[in-house]
Every structure is written in structure tokens, then in C-alpha cells.
Amino acid sequence: MNEEQEPQEREVLRGHVKWFDPAKGFGFVVVEQGGPDILLHANVLRNFGQSSVADGSLIEIVTQSTQRGMQAVEVLSIEPPSGDAGGEVLAEDAVDLDEADPLEPARVKWFDKGKGFGFANAFGKAEDIFIHVEVLRRSGFSDLQPGEAIGVRAIDGTRGRMAVLVTAWDAALDRDDEA
């Protein structure tokens, strides 16, 4: 029985997220060189600092073969999907990141994927930050959970502060340490 439990060789692969469902706690990655889909479990994604990932995101993972097939055991990088996502709210041409506030750590108050928006609080600031689902998707996330720690770059919109970029918590902390 020990022979079956020996650690399998790990391999670094690149591909894209086929789909990921935070409610189910898993999704699948399709790798560039083809082959079977690779299981991406929510715990592996959380170890990277995210609770979700947008479908179509480019992803670099460390994989391992198991009795149930290939599984991701570590996420090395995630790049948001490219494309013409949601032009009405904060079209990429309309927002110059140079005009946005610096990246700051924040916590999600609530986010409703069905409604397509939610709010976060930046540490030390009273005003809420509006987060639209398309900004979230362009940032490489598919959903956010209440209380989740994130990084946010925001602008002052006509109705208050609006997120233009959402990152994993670690990115905001790293940026904060550099300041």
C-alpha cells in the first residue's frame, strides 16, 4: 500500500481556467499542451491568496498525478482573462490607472454575483468602495466572500469611490511594505 501512496512527480504547467465555482469549492484548468482537465481545488487557490478565479484566466500551476487524475497542488501565477468584457461600467479606455488611488488593503463588506456588484472597506477609511463584477472579472476573480481580505485601487466616481482593480491581499501588503 505504501507504493501507491508515494509522492508523484510534480510538473509546472500553464493553461486557462475552464471554470471555477466558489460554492462547489473547485473548478478545472485546461493546459496549453492538451491532455485531461486538471482539478483546481479552492484550498489550493486560497493558498495563493484568492477565493475565486475568473473563467478564462491564464494560470500557471504545479500539478501532481493522483489516483483521481491530475490535480493542481500550487498556483504560481494568475493573469485575468483578456477580451471585451463589460464595456458599460469602467471601460478600460475610460479609466487611467495613473489617476487611481494607490493599491490599498481592504475587506469585502458584501458581494452579490447575481446583482453584479458589492462593496469593500479600505482600512482606516469610512467610505465604502463600490466593486462591479466586470472590474472583478478583469482583475481575475469570479466572486468575493464577505470578510475576504483584498487589495483595491479606486477612483472617485460621481456616486463615490469605485474600484478599478482588485488584487489578492498579499499584493496589497507587498505594495504597502514598499512604501
List the chain pLDDT tens, one digit each, 179 residues. 444 555 568 899 999 999 888 888 899 999 988 888 999 999 999 898 888 888 888 999 999 988 888 999 999 998 887 754 433 344 444 556 778 888 999 999 999 888 889 999 998 888 999 999 889 888 888 889 999 999 999 998 878 899 999 998 776 565 545 54
Taken in order 107, 110, 112, 117, the sign of the CA dihedral is negative
Q: Helices in the chain by DSSP H: which ranges?
A: 42-48, 133-138, 169-178
**The CATH number of domain 10-79 is 2.40.50.140:** yes
Domain 92-178 fold: OB fold (Dihydrolipoamide Acetyltransferase, E2P) (2.40.50)
Taken in order 13, 15, 19, 21, the sign of the CA dihedral is positive
Name the residue ranges covered by the structural domains of the chain: 10-79, 92-178
Q: Which residues contact 3 (CB under 8 A, 6 or more apart)?
A: none
Q: Which residues contact 24 (CB under 8 A, 6 or more apart)?
A: none
The pTM of the full predicted model, rounded to 2 decimals, is 0.59
Domains 10-79 and 92-178 in one fold: yes
